[in-house]
Amino acid sequence: MAKKFRAAVIGGSGYGGAELIRRLLIHPEVSLERVASVDFVGESLSAAHPNLEGLTPLKFENLAPEKAAEGMDVVLLGLPHKIAATKVPEILKTGTRIVDLSGDFRLKDARSYERYYGQKHPSAELLEQFVYGLPELNREKIRTAKYVASPGCFATTIELGLLPLAKAGLLAGAREVAGITGSSGAGVIPTATTHHPTRSVNLRTYKPLEHQHIPEIAETLTQAGAKNLQLRFVPISAPLARGIFATAFAHIDGDVTRDRLAVAFAETYHQEPFVRVPNKRLPEVAAVSGSNFVEVGFALADETDQDGRRTVACFSVTDNLIKGGAGQAIQSMNLMLGLDERLTLEDPGSWP
């Protein structure tokens, strides 16, 4: 039976591309027609992704993005930051829908892009045309969008941890976040700081207080209700292959109770198919690894500070390649195509 929609993946040889391809190959309504890449050209997809051995006759093709997009209902871009922005204008000419996994169209402020990505945006006039692809905040906008900028992995995790506070009017001013991430977020090609012999026995920070996801998180939480938000974010690389664990600290009025916070989390996520608030434990990475699920939770200090405020620590965990990457892109694609957003994404991963 023919599937209803046709899709192409552009930039399919990396870890994120592997997850896009895997989900699309089992999709009941979307047919994966092309995978474009400058690597492994002419080889089967299993040359880069051994788990796909024998599952598809598709091969990697060295196609210009606009050629890969021709005749497609949707294109999923797995291209690196700074490169995607130069390719999107050509893809737009084909009229197809776009889900971009790079950071190039997540920000509305071109000045923030220049500061955090180190160059002027080559297609700044297109920023307003992209909808930020966080379904838990922008679901209805995504449904009617032609172009979606899929959120970053750290951004997704931190935003979902703090979204209940933002919506409840409890998030304002300077806030501190530490995020621990697995090595797959650094991509396929090893570097001196991501190579396994070093990474597997080490913890180290990188880009402290200047990570490129900072303005993305601030824009999103401000949209949700945060006031005068200033994010102080320290990312940490950990000896994990997959997963992000974020801890965000907020200082709230001393009369805010645990029950009020619990209500805020429950009201924000009670109808969300991929966000879980565990009842008898706090979030943990192994519980979501290999899945599109998110876990969130919080701890509230018993004592108030000298200024009468109380500290709340918000915890959130994701699989950086799925809900923090390809899975969320598929979720947005489903919404854009008028499909059930859960398609191909409900598997719970594995334990441990």
pLDDT value of position 158: 98
What is the b/e burial string over 81-117, where b = at least 16 CB atoms within 10 angstroms of the residue's CB? bbebbebbeebbebebbbbbbbbbbbbbeeebbeebb
Range(s) within the chain of domains with CATH label 3.40.50.720: 5-151+325-336
CA distance linking residue 136 with residue 131, whole number of Å: 13
Using pLDDT thresholds of 50, 70 and 90, give the confidence band for residue 223.
Answer: very high
Q: Is the distance from CB of 99 to CB of 123 less than 8 angstroms?
A: no
Q: Is the distance from CB of 332 to CB of 151 less than 8 angstroms?
A: no
Written as six digits, the tokens of 2 are 């023919």
* Alpha-helical runs (H) found in the chain: 15-25, 65-69, 84-92, 110-117, 135-143, 153-167, 196-199, 214-224, 258-269, 326-336
C-alpha distances out from residue 212 to 54, 107, 152, 283, Å: 38, 10, 9, 25
Q: Is the distance from CB of 309 to CB of 328 less than 8 angstroms?
A: no
Report, as residue numbers or ranges, the catalytic residues: 153
CATH H superfamily, domain 5-151+325-336: NAD(P)-binding Rossmann-like Domain (3.40.50.720)
Residue 8 has pLDDT above 80, yes or no: yes
Residue 1 has pLDDT above 80, yes or no: no
pLDDT value of position 288: 97
Residue 164 C-alpha from the chain's centroid: 18
Conformational region of residue 345, where left means phi above 0, alpha means psi within -120 to 50, and beta covers everything else: alpha
**pLDDT, the chain, mean:** 96
Strand order in the sheet with 131-132: 60-61, 30-36, 5-10, 74-77, 97-100, 147-149, 131-132
- Indicate the fold that domain 154-318 takes in CATH: Dihydrodipicolinate Reductase; domain 2 (3.30.360)
pLDDT value of position 194: 82
More confident residue, 29 or 196: 29
How many other C-beta atoms are found inside a 10 Å radius of the C-beta of residue 261? Answer: 21
Question: How do residues 293-308 score in pLDDT, each as one tens digit?
Answer: 999 999 999 999 888 9
Range(s) within the chain of domains with CATH label 3.30.360.10: 154-318
Using pLDDT thresholds of 50, 70 and 90, give the confidence band for residue 191.
Answer: confident
Residue range 312-331: mean pLDDT, rounded: 98
What is the DSSP code string of 76-139?
A: EE-PPTTTHHHHHHHHHTTT-EEEE-SSTTS-S-HHHHHHHHSS--TTGGGGGGPEE--HHHHH
